[in-house]
Structures are given as structure tokens and as C-alpha cells.
Amino acid sequence: QKEVEQNSGPLSVPEGAIASLNCTYSDRGSQSFFWYRQYSGKSPELIMFIYSNGDKEDGRFTAQLNKASQYVSLLIRDSQPSDSATYLCAAYSGYSTLTFGKGTMLLVSP
């Protein structure tokens, strides 16, 4: 059974710090990986996706993928209180559905 694992948190970081969110996946056939941000009471919002080993940067966000270790991470630089949310990791294996983790809650304190 395909699984995506995330630490539920909360992960607490001070404003201005780097937040590191991690995710592991079980299906070696997974082709691409997604990070969604979900504010309380809102729907998930796609932040980034990555499909090649290494790093992918977009503004303050960097996604990292290591297929050998089946590990995906999201780094948020210069964290802001507005980054406080639940971050969902998802994997796509070429079948119809994404496999979602349960999410990590991030709290950024001023």
C-alpha cells in the first residue's frame, strides 16, 4: 500500500528562521511530489512540485528530492507568521490519484 509519512508537528520556528518540513514515501514508482499549504478552514493550495532529484527553488521555498532515500523536504526561508499553516506532502505514481500525507503543522512565532 502506497504511503506518505509526515511528522504531524507542530513544528515551531521563530520569525526569520528556516523551517524544514520533511516527508517520506513508500512507493519507489512515485514520479512527482507536491507540497500544499492549508490554512485553518481553507482548502489546500499548491506551493510547489518536484520530480527530479536535487533542489528546486521558488522564492522563499525550496523543495528537495532524494529518490534513493525516498525523501522529500520543503524549506521555507525567512519564515513569517503568515506561513503558519498545515503543509501537506503528496506523491504521484502515475495512477489516477495522489497519495497525501497527514500534514505537518507549522507555527511561526513573531
Partner 1 sequence: SAVISQKPSRDICQRGTSLTIQCQVDSQVTMMFWYRQQPGQSLTLIATANQGSEATYESGFVIDKFPISRPNLTFSTLTVSNMSPEDSSIYLCSVRPGQGDGTQYFGPGTRLTVL
Q: Which residues of 61-87 are buried (b: 16+ CB within 10 A; e: fewer)?
A: bbbbbebeebebbbbbeebeeebbbbb
Q: How far apart (Å, rounded) are the C-alpha atoms in residues 72 and 65?
A: 5
What does the CA dihedral 9, 12, 13, 19 come to, rounded to 10 degrees? Answer: 10
Taking CB under 8 A as the rule, does residue 20 contact partner 1?
Answer: no
**Per-residue string for binding with partner 1, 34-73, x by CB under 8 A?**
x-x-----xxxxx--x-x----------------------
Please identify, using beta-carbon distances, which residue of 1 and 110 lies nearer to partner 1: 1
**Per-residue string for binding with partner 1, 72-101, x by CB under 8 A?**
----------------x-x-x-x-xxx-xx
Q: How far is CA 20 from its chain centroid?
A: 9
Please identify, using beta-carbon distances, which residue of 52 and 69 lies nearer to partner 1: 52
Q: Which residues bind partner 1 (CB under 8 A)?
A: 31-32, 34, 36, 42-46, 49, 51, 88, 90, 92, 94, 96-98, 100-103
